[in-house]
Amino acid sequence: MSDKTPDLHTAYALKSPEDNKRLYAEWAGDYDDNFAAREDYQLHIQTARAFVSAGGQGPVLDVGAGTGLCGAVLAGLGVGPIDATDISAEMLDQAMRKDIYRDAIEADLNHGIPVSRDSYAGIVSSGTFTHGHLGPEVLPALLRIARPGAQFALSINAQHFEKLGFADALRRMEQNQIRNLTLPKVRIYGDLAAGPNKDDTAFVALFERI
């Protein structure tokens, strides 16, 4: 288990896929206890519940699954089967120990996900679009592996939603790729959170692939 404590400023400053791999390799062992619990992290719960409320079903791909926080909530809500994908092999190792995932797929979203077209009835992502180092350019890769009618639930940090072009990208996608887009706004952290990021919010982009 790492003796490093996750730091939000470090995470928000990530610039490259290699930065991600290094940071999350260090944090994987104690991410759940020392980060999620201490910061009263709630985004994974909000995202999973939004997916289920929108009618989402399996098979589901948990994108940027990390240690499996969102997947665990999905499983608890009766969703399955669930596959996990993440850039960090160490995070995926922790996720697979929870015995909630069917498969683990190590992948950099910038280069796509090595699974067949139309593989999933649901695509869920909590936290992957939170730090601002990954933009809407990866959305086509997610659409490719989703079946027609697949339900999406993607959390996107509110500060980055306009700045990184998510709003424009989703509007363009509404023309002929997605339908039923809604953008509920949720808190990333709960009432026990402290520090400069405690009031951060995210949109959960809910839509279906046409």
User: Each residue of 93-144: pLDDT tens digit?
Assistant: 999 999 999 999 999 999 999 999 999 999 999 989 976 568 999 999 999 9
179 in any annotated domain: yes
195 in any annotated domain: yes
73 in any annotated domain: yes
25-34, 83-92, 156-165, 194-203: segment of lowest average pLDDT: 25-34
Instruction: Read off the pLDDT of residues 13-50 as tens digits, 9 standing for 90 and up.
Output: 444 555 554 555 554 445 544 555 667 889 999 999 99
CA distance 196 to 188: 13
1 in any annotated domain: no
For residue 108, give the CATH number of its domain. 3.40.50.150
Q: What is the pLDDT of residue 36?
A: 57
Nearest CA to 27 among 71, 101, 68, 88? 88
Helices (H) and strands (E) in the chain, counts: 8, 8
Before 196, cis peptide (omega within 30)?
no
Within 10 A of 68 (CB to CB), how many other CB atoms are there?
28
62 in any annotated domain: yes
Q: What is the pLDDT of residue 9?
A: 47
- Reduce the DSSP state of residue 128 to 3 states and report it: strand
Whether the per-residue pLDDT at 4 is higher than 90: the answer is no
CA distance 144 to 115: 9
Mean pLDDT across the chain: 86
Whether the per-residue pLDDT at 198 is higher than 50: the answer is yes
Whether the per-residue pLDDT at 10 is higher than 80: the answer is no
DSSP notation for 135-192: -GGGHHHHHHTEEEEEEEEEEEEHHHHTTTTHHHHHHHHHHHTEEEEE--EEESB-TT
- The parent domain of residue 111 ranges over 8-209
For the entire predicted model, the pTM comes to 0.85
36 in any annotated domain: yes
The number of folded domains in the chain is 1
- Mean pLDDT within 49-74: 96
3 in any annotated domain: no
Q: Are 158 and 186 in contact (CB under 8 A)?
A: no
2 in any annotated domain: no
